[in-house]
Structures are given as structure tokens and as C-alpha cells.
């Protein structure tokens, strides 16, 4: 309980980095890390939802009756997801089409729900905001790392601002397996193993 405010923020970046330490929210990780840009968009959307829902849930945590808290959390999270959905549809339509069904599915991504239950319903607003922000950024970073790895190995380059940049010479044989469904599972499994090795003290 004696965590400083900075620690609330930084724990999401390494010590409790969401997809690897708490194995939650795997579906989008597998589905949208086939391209770097998708991962960035998804990460930012989740960060926004996580921070917003954490702050709001923390603000109303004393007036939610404990018996219906799960439903209350879901409504709050769904509200923020709807906001993200409409904003993305209006301003980043190409990305909105690419992410497709996975944007509304942020509602059932276990991370916002898990943080609401485990953290925001017990802590004040400042701490909850930092927790949400830290977790969101940690989530974004892991999405980006996985997506960059998959895209670079599978296509031999990376797409930035909708322009493909080739990183290897013409002799490079793209390893398409990694952007397809089976590659996603294998890649995430290997990454989880590597994180376990790194985390062992």
C-alpha cells in the first residue's frame, strides 16, 4: 500500500506490464499486431479507455452498490469505448476499418475491467489515473514491440505513415508465417517466455 505516486505510474511499464505479467487482454494482442500502425492505434485507444474509465470509476466508487458493481463498470467502460469508436470513425477512418470489430471489443478486453475491479474501485482518482495511464502505455509498448517484430520479419520492412520502408536488401526472404494466425500464437508464446527469463531475479 505504501507505493508512491510515481510507482503507481511506473509499475505498468515493467513490473506489472499488462499482457505479459498479468496474462490478460490477449485477443487484440494476437489479432492486431500483424502491422505496426494497427498496434499503435489500438494501444492509444486502449490507453484512453483505461485512463478514462479508471478515473470515472474511482470518482463514483463510493456510490456504486457492491452487488451491481460489475455491471456499473461495464457501462462506464462501454461508454468510453463508444467515444473512441466514434472519434476514430470520424478522424482516422482507414485505421477504423482495419481494426474493425476489435474496437468495440475493447469493452470485453479484460484489462480495463481488471484494473477497475483490482485498482480503481479501491483508490483515489489521481492514483487511478496514473495507474490507468501507466498500464495503457505499458500495453501500447508491448503491442508495438510484438507488432514491429512480426511485421519486420514477415515483410522485410515496416509501414510508417502508410509508407512501406524496406529494412533489408532484396535477398531477404519474407517469413509470412508470422503475420498469419498461427504465427501470432507462437510469437506471443516465445515473447512471454523471454519476459519470464528477463523478469527472473
* Smallest separation, CB 46 to another protein (Å): 13
Query: Is residue 64 close enough to count as binding another protein by CB under 8 A?
Result: no
In this structure, what C-alpha cell is assigned to residue 99?
481494426
Q: How far is Cα of residue 193 from the mean position of the Cα atoms in its chain?
A: 19
Rounded Cα distance, 58 and 128, in Å: 7
Q: What phi, psi does 64 have (nearest 5°)?
A: -85, 125
Q: Give the residue carrying C-alpha cell 511485421.
A: 151
DSSP 64: S
- Decide: helix, strand or coil at residue 26: helix
Among 47, 53, 109, 123, which residue sits at the site for another protein (rule: CB under 8 A)? Answer: 109
Closer to another protein by Cβ: residue 59 or 78: 78
Closer to another protein by Cβ: residue 24 or 144: 24
Query: Is residue 152 close enough to count as binding another protein by CB under 8 A?
Result: no
Rounded Cα distance, 84 and 45, in Å: 6
Query: Is residue 10 close enough to count as binding another protein by CB under 8 A?
Result: no
Residues binding another protein: number (CB under 8 A): 42
Among 64, 108, 125, 158, which residue sits at the site for another protein (rule: CB under 8 A)? Answer: 108
Q: What phi, psi does 157 have (nearest 5°)?
A: -165, -175
Residue 8 to residues 2, 11, 72, 112: CA-CA distances in angstroms?
A: 10, 6, 24, 16
Closer to another protein by Cβ: residue 125 or 195: 195
Query: Is residue 85 close enough to count as binding another protein by CB under 8 A?
Result: yes
Rule CB under 8 A: which residues touch another protein? 23-27, 30-31, 70-71, 74-75, 78-79, 81-82, 85-86, 101, 104-105, 107-110, 113, 180-190, 192-194, 196-197, 200
Amino acid at each position: 500500500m505504501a507505493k508512491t505516486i510515481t510507482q503507481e505510474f511506473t509499475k505498468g511499464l515493467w513490473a506489472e506490464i499488462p499482457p505479459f505479467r498479468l496474462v490478460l487482454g490477449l485477443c487484440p494482442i494476437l489479432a492486431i499486431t500483424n502491422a505496426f500502425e494497427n498496434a499503435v492505434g489500438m494501444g492509444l485507444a486502449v490507453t484512453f479507455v483505461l485512463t478514462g474509465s479508471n478515473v470515472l470509476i474511482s470518482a463514483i466508487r463510493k456510490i456504486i452498490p457492491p452487488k451491481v458493481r460489475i455491471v456499473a463498470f461495464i457501462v462506464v467502460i462501454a461508454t468510453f469505448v463508444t467515444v473512441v469508436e466514434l472519434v476514430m470513425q470520424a478522424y482516422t477512418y482507414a485505421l477504423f476499418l482495419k481494426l474493425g470489430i476489435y474496437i468495440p471489443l475493447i469493452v470485453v478486453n479484460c484489462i480495463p475491467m481488471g484494473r477497475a475491479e483490482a485498482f480503481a474501485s479501491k483508490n483515489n482518482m489521481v492514483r487511478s489515473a496514473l495507474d490507468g495511464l501507466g498500464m495503457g502505455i505499458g500495453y501500447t509498448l508491448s503491442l508495438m514491440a510484438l507488432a514491429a517484430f512480426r511485421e519486420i520479419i514477415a515483410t522485410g520492412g515496416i509501414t510508417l505513415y502508410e509508407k512501406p520502408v524496406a529494412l533489408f536488401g532484396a535477398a531477404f526472404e519474407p517469413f509470412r508465417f508470422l503475420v498469419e494466425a498461427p504465427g501470432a500464437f507462437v510469437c506471443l508464446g516465445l515473447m512471454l517466455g523471454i519476459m519470464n527469463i528477463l523478469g527472473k531475479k
